[in-house]
């Protein structure tokens, strides 16, 4: 491919003329943005900008000229054009819950970056139960999108622990996964159409609702998972599903990961795609949640090294799903795949079981620094990964506390290690090497952002990287959008190390 020099090298970025102004606050861009978008749509004071320039985990903190919050797609387009006219760059931001530093501006003093928050594009544009389609603006909070679908008697299946803050634009731009991927697929599988503001400010209207459209390249797919490097997503259309009529949630003790995988296949052959979630959780994660949150309680009296949280649901009325699950689990007990179990009897109990899973990240955060890995391997290799990874980590970081949990039905393990920051490089190197050795990926869900940008060339083949650079150069030749994220754009980013 011809794209080694991708048009994103620092020498090709137009000058922004900062030197003419003694402070950024005096830069004419600020007044131009205020005139175009309204006084309140531009924040430039340090306190006002603070929540936008640091990431959720507090690992990345940058500096922005200002934060702009347009309230419609025309405003986004106008902001992009104005920032471009001064040679600046735009960092799109949704709920800022991303875990790889992708939504925060650069900390380089010479960077001239504007954070563009989609927060105010928060309208549900349509919920069509006949077409089974939900159309929402990018700033709609994921939970609100779910509720809008539910109000119309439909299921919008994307669900993750950050759903109270994550926004649709961020979900699309990270191709978010979550707990229902096993049955409904990733965000990529659910998007029917997108509206996107491009680097020249033009508005691409790909907000179709079609399930079939063979008229050439599927352009929307380029923007899904692009981490804000190709365009700014301003609205999205999603496919919807029938609401569940009945569901059973089970918290199961299993002897180990190998038994968990066999249990997964057993349940799938017994209940088919009624199995919508299958999460593997190591005992140490449950302990951490119980220790750090007194409002939680252990779902089982017995202790086990591993647990599975499984959810089985059906849109079919009258299907005796509870009986089906009980019979399947009885066989699983006989096969030695399950050693103890509890089934939620009502919505409250279901919420309590899910709380254990959903609070793991927060419990980790309260326990000091942790080195997070969001890897995937073929499902059959999960037991190999989990057998080797802890010892491999302890060999390079004595005293570290590995914790494993994840969407194991998708081959996705969050393998996080409580350890001091200094150990992160050595720990990540052995974890990623192991995942890749087993045919896996260094990022199953969270993406590359800033935290893994220097690692991508080590784990992704050169031809794939060249194709990615060619796409970037075609859509955003001046590297306007989210520079330094996903693809290294200069010497500093290319040198970013592990972590």
Ligand X SMILES: Cc1cc2nc3c(=O)[nH]c(=O)nc-3n(C[C@H](O)[C@H](O)[C@H](O)COP(=O)(O)OP(=O)(O)OC[C@H]3O[C@@H](n4cnc5c(N)ncnc54)[C@H](O)[C@@H]3O)c2cc1C
* Closest C-alpha among 397, 429, 435 to residue 413: 435
Output 247 or 451, the one with its CB closest to ligand X. Answer: 451
- Is 376 a binding residue for ligand X by CB under 6 A? The answer is no
- What CA–CA distance (Å, rounded) separates 297 from 136? 37
- Is 174 a binding residue for ligand X by CB under 6 A? The answer is yes
Strands (E), 129-245: 133-137, 154-155, 191-197, 203-206, 232-239, 241-242
Answer for which of 103, 382, 397, 404 binds ligand X (CB under 6 A) is 103
282 pairs with which residues across the strands?
306
The dihedrals phi and psi of 330, each to the nearest 5 degrees, come to -60, -45
The span of 62-70, 106-114, 163-171, 272-280 binding ligand X (CB under 6 A) equals 163-171
- Is 97 a binding residue for ligand X by CB under 6 A? The answer is yes
Output the smallest distance, CB 62 to ligand X, in A: 12
Tokens of 242: 């029938």
Residue 186 to residues 14, 159, 160, 175, 334, Cα–Cα distance (Å): 37, 10, 11, 7, 34
- Is 102 a binding residue for ligand X by CB under 6 A? The answer is yes
The span of 60-68, 85-93, 345-353, 376-384 binding ligand X (CB under 6 A) equals 85-93
Asked whether 344 and 357 are in contact (CB, 8 A), the reply is no
- Looking only at residues 201 through 220 of this chain, which bind ligand X when binding is defined by CB under 6 A? none
Answer for which of 361, 416, 428, 443 binds ligand X (CB under 6 A) is 361
User: Residue 490: how many CB atoms within 10 A of its CB?
Assistant: 16
Tokens of 158: 């994307």
Output 42 or 233, the one with its CB closest to ligand X. Answer: 233
Output 106 or 314, the one with its CB closest to ligand X. Answer: 106
- Is 98 a binding residue for ligand X by CB under 6 A? The answer is yes
Output 198 or 338, the one with its CB closest to ligand X. Answer: 198
Output the smallest distance, CB 274 to ligand X, in A: 21
DSSP labels for 63-75? --SEEE--SSHHH
Output the smallest distance, CB 231 to ligand X, in A: 7
Interface with ligand X (CB under 6 A), residue total 37
- Looking only at residues 230 through 249 of this chain, which bind ligand X when binding is defined by CB under 6 A? 232-233
What kind and span of H or E run contains 76? helix 73-85
Residues 6+ apart with CB under 8 A from 152: 127, 128, 129
Output 133 or 176, the one with its CB closest to ligand X. Answer: 176
Asked whether 238 and 190 are in contact (CB, 8 A), the reply is yes
Burial class of 228 by CB neighbour count within 10 A (0 to 12, 13 to 18, 19+)? buried
Interface mask toward ligand X for 44-63; x: CB under 6 A:
------------x-------
Output the smallest distance, CB 188 to ligand X, in A: 11
Output 18 or 199, the one with its CB closest to ligand X. Answer: 199
- Is 194 a binding residue for ligand X by CB under 6 A? The answer is no
Output 93 or 146, the one with its CB closest to ligand X. Answer: 93
Output the smallest distance, CB 245 to ligand X, in A: 25
Asked whether 382 and 307 are in contact (CB, 8 A), the reply is no
- Is 428 a binding residue for ligand X by CB under 6 A? The answer is no
Output the smallest distance, CB 369 to ligand X, in A: 16
- What CA–CA distance (Å, rounded) separates 119 from 467? 32
- Is 99 a binding residue for ligand X by CB under 6 A? The answer is yes
- What CA–CA distance (Å, rounded) separates 61 from 179? 29
- What CA–CA distance (Å, rounded) separates 224 from 162? 19
DSSP labels for 175-189? T---TTHHHH--HHH
DSSP labels for 363-423? HHHHTS-EE--EEE--GGGHHHHHHHHHHHHHHHSTT-EEEEEE-GGGTEEEEEEE--GGG
Output the smallest distance, CB 331 to ligand X, in A: 30
- Is 138 a binding residue for ligand X by CB under 6 A? The answer is yes
Side-chain-side CA neighbours of 360 within 13 Å: the count stands at: 27
Place of tokens 């009986």: 323
Answer for which of 94, 225, 409, 454 binds ligand X (CB under 6 A) is 94
Output the smallest distance, CB 261 to ligand X, in A: 20
Answer for which of 372, 485, 493, 499 binds ligand X (CB under 6 A) is 485
Answer for which of 18, 36, 160, 280 binds ligand X (CB under 6 A) is 160
Answer for which of 176, 259, 286, 397 binds ligand X (CB under 6 A) is 176
Output the smallest distance, CB 135 to ligand X, in A: 15
Answer for which of 137, 282, 445, 493 binds ligand X (CB under 6 A) is 445
Answer for which of 41, 78, 166, 453 binds ligand X (CB under 6 A) is 166
Residues near ligand X (CB under 6 A): 56, 91-99, 102-103, 118, 138, 160-162, 166-167, 169-171, 173-174, 176-178, 227-228, 232-233, 361, 445-446, 449, 482, 485
């Amino acid at each position: 491919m011809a794209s080694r020099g991708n048009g994103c090298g620092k020498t090709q970025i137009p000058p922004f003329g900062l030197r003419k102004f003694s402070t950024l606050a005096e830069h004419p861009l600020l007044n131009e943005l205020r005139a175009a978008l309204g006084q309140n749509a531009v924040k430039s004071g340090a306190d006002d900008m603070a929540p936008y320039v640091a990431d959720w985990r507090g690992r990345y903190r940058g500096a922005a000229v200002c934060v702009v919050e347009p309230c419609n797609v025309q405003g986004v387009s106008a902001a992009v054009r104005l920032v471009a006219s001064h040679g600046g760059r735009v960092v799109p931001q949704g709920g800022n819950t991303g875990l790889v530093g992708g939504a925060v501006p650069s900390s380089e003093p010479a960077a001239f970056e504007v954070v563009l928050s989609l927060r105010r594009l928060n309208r549900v544009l349509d919920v069509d139960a006949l077409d089974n389609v939900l159309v929402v603006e990018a700033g709609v909070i994921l939970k609100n999108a779910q509720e809008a679908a539910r109000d119309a008697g439909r299921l919008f299946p994307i669900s993750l622990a950050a759903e109270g803050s994550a926004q649709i634009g961020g979900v699309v731009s990270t191709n978010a996964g979550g707990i229902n991927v096993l049955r409904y697929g990733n965000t990529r599988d659910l998007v029917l159409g997108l509206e996107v503001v491009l680097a020249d400010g033009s508005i691409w209207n790909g907000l179709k609702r079609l399930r079939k459209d063979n008229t050439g390249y599927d352009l929307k797919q380029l923007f899904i998972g692009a981490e804000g490097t190709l365009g700014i997503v301003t609205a999205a259309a999603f496919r919807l599903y029938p609401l569940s009529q009945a569901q059973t949630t089970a918290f199961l003790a299993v002897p180990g990961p190998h038994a968990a995988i066999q249990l997964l296949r057993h349940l799938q052959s017994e209940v088919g795609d009624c199995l919508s979630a299958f999460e593997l959780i190591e005992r140490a994660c449950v302990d951490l949640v119980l220790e750090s949150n007194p409002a939680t309680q252990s779902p089982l009296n017995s202790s086990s090294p591993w647990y599975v949280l499984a959810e089985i649901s059906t849109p079919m009325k009258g299907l005796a799903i509870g009986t089906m699950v009980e019979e399947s689990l009885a066989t699983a007990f006989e096969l030695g795949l399950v050693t103890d179990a509890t089934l939620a009897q009502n919505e409250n109990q279901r919420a309590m079981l899910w709380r254990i899973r959903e609070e793991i990240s927060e419990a980790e955060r309260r326990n000091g620094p942790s080195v997070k890995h969001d890897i995937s391997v073929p499902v059959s290799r999960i037991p190999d990964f989990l057998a080797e990874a802890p010892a491999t980590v302890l060999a390079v970081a004595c005293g570290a506390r590995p914790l494993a949990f994840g969407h194991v039905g998708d081959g996705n393990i969050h393998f996080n290690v409580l350890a001091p920051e200094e150990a992160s490089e050595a720990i990540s190197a052995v974890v990623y090497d192991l995942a890749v050795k087993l045919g896996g990926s260094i990022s199953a869900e969270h993406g590359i952002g800033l935290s893994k940008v220097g690692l991508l060339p080590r784990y992704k083949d050169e031809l794939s990287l060249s194709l990615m650079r060619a796409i970037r150069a075609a859509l955003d030749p001046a590297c306007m959008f989210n520079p330094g994220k996903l693809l290294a754009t200069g010497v500093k980013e290319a040198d970013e190390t592990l972590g």
